[in-house]
Amino acid sequence: MCGKCRAKVKMYGAMFLLGLIILMSRAAEALDNGLALKPTMGWLHWERFMCNIDCDRDPNNCISESLYMQMADAMVKEGWKEAGYEYVCIDDCWPSHQRDAQGRLQADPKRFPRGIKKLADYVHSKGLKLGIYADVGKNTCAGYPGSLGYYETDAQTFAEWGVDLLKFDGCYMDWKLLGEGYMNMSKALNKTGASILYSCEWPLYEWPFRQPNYTAIRETCNHWRNYADVYDSWSSVKSILDWTASHQDIIAPSAGPGGWNDPDMLVIGNFGLSHDQQESQMALWAIMAAPLLMSNDLREICPRSKELLQNRHIIAISQDPLGRQGYRTAKVESFEVWERPLSQNRLAIAVLNKQEIGGPRGLPIQAAPGWKICSPKCNVTQILPQYKEMGVQTPNSNLVVSVNPSGTALLTVTPISSNFPGRQSLHWQHPSFKHKNNIL
Ligand SMILES: *[C@@H]1O[C@H](CO)[C@@H](O)[C@H](O)[C@H]1NC(C)=O
Ligand SMILES: *[C@@H]1O[C@H](CO)[C@@H](O)[C@H](O)[C@H]1NC(C)=O
Ligand SMILES: *[C@@H]1O[C@H](CO)[C@@H](O)[C@H](O)[C@H]1NC(C)=O
């Protein structure tokens, strides 16, 4: 090897190490409870079942212990658990309106006759985990008792019940005390000694007043909601994507193993999204390194939606060990290109067709800013709309990605035979996603 090359290898080696150090220091800022090292996967009742407490008239769909037991059963029987979905999560409207004589939260006795501990035992017996819901303020959003003034009591109660995740809402709270409240609960959970994943809504409630401190949020929570609740509609999913893209420089760097931005639930398998739109939500939630918390009826879901939610290639992108959130990197001709750096120098590229008229349209792959990692060659796999090995490509490839209106094509790009290992990964340590030719 000539001296010049050796020097070059050394230089790239040093830069690679520097990249690794940057990566490791990012991870060190996360809440130190060893949880959510990958985006959380599971099921959460809110979007589909809301605050349905009418068990007399609607016993099959009301918020009651049997709803979570049936979901847990379905998760094991229908391949969800095997695909990686693990948490069965309760949202608002589970408690009694009164705390007990010791000031502890208690489940509504009619709808949860055996109590939450027994429900947790049941969910654990299936090899799954149980999530519960509370609120940092005086009341929950639906008017049940909030945890303000009771953080240690409630943390202790949840730990004693064997709860594995807490979704902590932010209604009925003075916004100036949000940070303090969320941090106090984080400490209270830690003090119990139990492993309880901590899902926050701190930034969502702080944004109307000021830009939240994402360093502090990442130190406090395992994931955090930033923006409005998802609805069962394409306009809702689009508004979440738009909000995320327009705040990506602020929020995306704070995502990584141990802490994630949460764009809210997957509504795939419900009523409001076409199949193409469902594919878009799945692909882009994977690109955003979002928690994959489905809110649907697992007892009755259409096979195509189920197949999409269990697509192991998309889940592999979501759960990629590098743990970097993707960015919207280009807007071209009513397409959006979103890209997420993956482990082993790979890249996931999603192409969303936002022209909601006409038929499928094509985008030359070279329009994706990240395509430059295909050098000198790369292997391309298409994951959506159909799985297809696209073979070896070059930077000048004339590959055209075809996408249905409001659908998304999802690809992975694996560079081949770079002379200097670490070179591409280095590129992604310093993502400069702003490209002159593309409007972001
Ligand atoms: C509590 O925090 C400490 C220090 O950050 C950490 O080492 C420990 O694992 C945490 N315990 C739990 C149960 O999260
Ligand atoms: C948080 O804890 C501190 C220290 O115990 C306390 O002074 C403060 O009032 C608490 N804040 C909230 C919102 O509970
Ligand atoms: C944000 O939070 C971090 C960690 O708690 C803190 O060190 C930093 O000073 C805060 N930044 C601002 C601008 O308040």
Q: Which ligand minimizes its atom distance to the CA of 212?
A: 3
Residue 332 contacts residue 299 (beta carbons within 8 Å): no
Best CA proximity match to 158, nearest among 184, 130, 127, 122: 130
CA of 395 to the centre of ligand 3 (A): 43
122's CB contacts (< 8 A; 6+ apart) are 69, 72
Atom 14 in ligand 2: residue holding the nearest Cα: 181
pTM (2 d.p.): 0.91
Domain identity same for 301 and 350: no
Domain identity same for 210 and 337: no
Domain identity same for 174 and 293: yes
Q: Give the pLDDT confidence score for residue 438 in this predicted structure.
A: 35
Domain identity same for 277 and 344: no
Q: Which ligand minimizes its atom distance to the CA of 32?
A: 1
Domain identity same for 257 and 387: no
CA of 326 to the centre of ligand 3 (A): 24
CA of 251 to the centre of ligand 1 (A): 25
Q: Give the pLDDT confidence score for residue 419 in this predicted structure.
A: 57
Active site residues: 169, 229
- Residue linked to tokens 């004339």: 398
> What is the rounded CA–CA span in Å between residue 47 and residue 198?
20
Q: Give the pLDDT confidence score for residue 157 in this predicted structure.
A: 98
- What are the pocket residues of ligand 2 if the criterion is a CB atom closer than 6 Å to any ligand atom? 177, 180-181, 184
Is position 14 within any domain?
yes
What is the atom index within ligand 2 of the atom nearest the CA of 136? 13
Residue 205 contacts residue 178 (beta carbons within 8 Å): yes
Atom 4 in ligand 2: residue holding the nearest Cα: 184
Atom 13 in ligand 2: residue holding the nearest Cα: 181
What is the atom index within ligand 3 of the atom nearest the CA of 213? 1
Domain assignment of residue 403, given as a range: 3-25+325-429
Domain identity same for 46 and 13: no
Atom 9 in ligand 2: residue holding the nearest Cα: 180
Q: Among 266, 286, 318, which residue terminates a domain?
A: 318
CA of 292 to the centre of ligand 1 (A): 25
Three-class SS of residue 313? helix
Three-class SS of residue 369? helix
Alpha helices in 78-114 (DSSP H): 80-83
Q: Which ligand minimizes its atom distance to the CA of 215?
A: 3
Atom 5 in ligand 2: residue holding the nearest Cα: 184
Please work out whether the CB of residue 213 comes within 6 Å of at least one atom of ligand 3.
yes
Integer CA distances (angstroms), 91 to 60, 85, 130, in order: 17, 17, 11
Please work out whether the CB of residue 32 comes within 6 Å of at least one atom of ligand 1.
yes
What is the atom index within ligand 2 of the atom nearest the CA of 184? 1
CA of 225 to the centre of ligand 1 (A): 23
Residue 72 contacts residue 123 (beta carbons within 8 Å): yes
Q: What CATH number is given to the structural domain containing 115?
A: 3.20.20.70
CA of 211 to the centre of ligand 3 (A): 12
Integer CA distances (angstroms), 86 to 127, 137, 169, 296, 406, in order: 8, 28, 21, 15, 30
Domain tally, the chain: 2
- DSSP 8-state assignment for residue 256: B
CA of 212 to the centre of ligand 3 (A): 10
> What is the rounded CA–CA span in Å between residue 52 and residue 109?
16
Q: What CATH number is given to the structural domain containing 404?
A: 2.60.40.1180
Domain identity same for 260 and 391: no
Per-residue pLDDT tens digits of the chain, which is 440 residues long: 344 444 444 444 444 444 444 454 454 489 999 999 999 999 999 999 999 999 999 999 999 999 999 999 999 999 999 999 999 999 999 999 999 999 999 999 999 999 999 999 999 999 999 999 999 999 999 999 999 999 999 999 999 999 999 999 999 999 999 999 999 999 999 999 999 999 999 999 999 999 999 999 999 999 999 999 999 999 999 999 999 999 999 999 999 999 999 999 999 999 999 999 999 999 999 999 999 999 999 999 999 999 999 999 999 999 999 999 999 999 999 999 999 999 999 999 999 999 999 999 999 999 999 999 999 999 999 999 999 999 999 999 999 999 999 999 999 999 997 555 544 444 443 343 433 333 33
Domain identity same for 137 and 282: yes
Q: Among 269, 298, 318, which residue terminates a domain?
A: 318
Domain identity same for 146 and 74: yes
Atom 7 in ligand 2: residue holding the nearest Cα: 180
Q: Which ligand minimizes its atom distance to the CA of 186?
A: 1
Atom 14 in ligand 3: residue holding the nearest Cα: 213
